[in-house]
Amino acid sequence: MDTETVKYQRKELELKALLEITQAINENKNETVLLNIFKFTCLLHLNIKALVLYVSSDSHFDSRIAHGIKHNIPDQIPIGDVEDNHKIGKLNLILPPEYSFAELDTYVPVYHKDKMLAILLLKTKDEENGIDLDFTQALTNILVVALENKRFARKQLEQERLNKEMEIASSVQRMLFPAQLPQTQKLKAKVTYFPHSTVGGDYYDLIQKSADEVFFCVADVSGKGMPAALLMSNFQAALRTLLRSTSDLKMIVEQLNFTIFENTHGEKFITFFLGYYNFKTRRLEYINAGHNPPVLCWEGEKRTELLEAGTTILGAFEELPFLEMGHRDHLKGFSIHLYTDGLTECFNRKDEEYGEARFLKFVRRNICIDPTEFHRTFFMELNEFSEGVTRKDDVTLLSLRLK
């Protein structure tokens, strides 16, 4: 057979190979089908006897095709263990001694700019006829680009799914918060809430059980995103169910702790402050479960104190190791500022933390002022301190003024 006939037949086979792989790509065949078509095309049309194809992922080259190989080869090769000097046609692979590519005599690298996307190692059937490396590289490139496009499409779909989940979690979280806070002569309330991301881990609530009874709380769940939103949703449902049947703070907190522990098996926890005030008896009761202590401001005496009595975080133990209920009597006019740790853990450009001491100083300078005005002036100060540095956590401040 003359040389021209051999060349013609080779071109015809190459054309068949190109047609088969591009047709499969155009028909949007899945990855397994594309890899099988590529493998059999190489074996039938391209004078290839054995081949291995590695395709890069984030940190490894993963084996996607292996045919006709007798030696052990690795399923993955770390990207750092592949050194390709394609200018002189030399590939250096760092392999453990139990692996070998000795029976493969040719390699075909696939690049996008300076990044190696894939490595095709092969052995020809007939050394005399050889192989058209340029065509083989082009065909491999077509396959790898198709695989990359599929991987990118999967990532996009996954990102869209995550975004949808976050939207749902955000909607769920918005429904947890009270739609309106009271603004009456007896009770004025103001909240400022800055979630760190679409879905935060902070929760606050205010429940007026009767004309003379009000419950208020703030909480911070460990973790973020959908799991944190679902846990907080269950927590809020449990809290509101308990409040309908009892005003016993100890019973409420013990039951909440049991519910969280049962749901998360001690893997997640919630810091929580729950307060209760009765306008008739003028008695304040509270339990602090490992949360930043709220600041109580006595209006007549112009003094402040931290509300620390309580217990440990909820959800860490099946039974709370200790539990103390704090109370204050004969309260006529007072304010309480409840907050989460994201408020005091704001930093400035010098990496200085705002801290509890600065917050307490601000409170003492602004004892029992209107909650709305308190928030306006406080966040002016916090923003000036932060100098535009991005917050690292959710920030919640709930202020109540009771008379």
Instruction: Quote the pTM value.
Output: 0.65
Can you tell me whether residue 94 is helix, strand or coil? coil
The more confidently predicted of residues 224 and 131 is 131
At residue 287, the pLDDT reads 97
Report the candidate in 131, 173, 156, 164 with the shortest Cα–Cα distance to residue 47.
Answer: 131
How many Å apart are CA 302 and CA 364, to the nearest integer? 8
Give per-residue pLDDT as tens, 158-204: 888 777 776 776 666 666 777 788 888 899 999 998 877 656 678 89
How many Å apart are CA 80 and CA 183, to the nearest integer? 64
How many Å apart are CA 129 and CA 108, to the nearest integer? 18
Residue 247 in this model has a pLDDT that exceeds 80: yes
How many Å apart are CA 280 and CA 246, to the nearest integer? 18
- Among the residue ranges 114-128, 319-333, 370-384, the one predicted with the least confidence is 114-128
Residue 225 backbone phi and psi in degrees, to 5: 75, -160
The more confidently predicted of residues 400 and 18 is 400
For 115, 180, 237, 288, 338, the CA distances from 242, given in Å and listed in that order, are 59, 21, 9, 17, 22
Residue 273 backbone phi and psi in degrees, to 5: -125, 130
* Residue 396 CB partners (closer than 8 Å, separation 6+): 191, 192, 193, 194, 202, 204, 218, 220, 338, 339, 340, 342, 343
**% of residues, the chain, pLDDT over 70:** 91
At residue 10, the pLDDT reads 64
Task: Give the DSSP H or E segment for 384.
Answer: helix 371-386
Write down how long the chain is.
403
Residue 3 in this model has a pLDDT that exceeds 60: no
At residue 9, the pLDDT reads 66
DSSP 224-254: -HHHHHHHHHHHHHHHHHHHHH---HHHHHH
Residue 239 in this model has a pLDDT that exceeds 80: yes
The more confidently predicted of residues 371 and 23 is 371
Give per-residue pLDDT as tens, 40-98: 888 888 888 999 999 988 788 999 999 988 889 999 899 888 887 766 667 788 888 88
Give per-residue pLDDT as tens, 82-125: 887 766 667 788 888 888 888 888 888 888 877 888 889 999 88
For 66, the token pair is 């292996």
Residue 311 in this model has a pLDDT that exceeds 80: yes
How many Å apart are CA 334 and CA 42, to the nearest integer? 82
At residue 148, the pLDDT reads 86
The more confidently predicted of residues 9 and 364 is 364
Predicted confidence band of residue 291 (pLDDT cuts 50, 70, 90) = very high
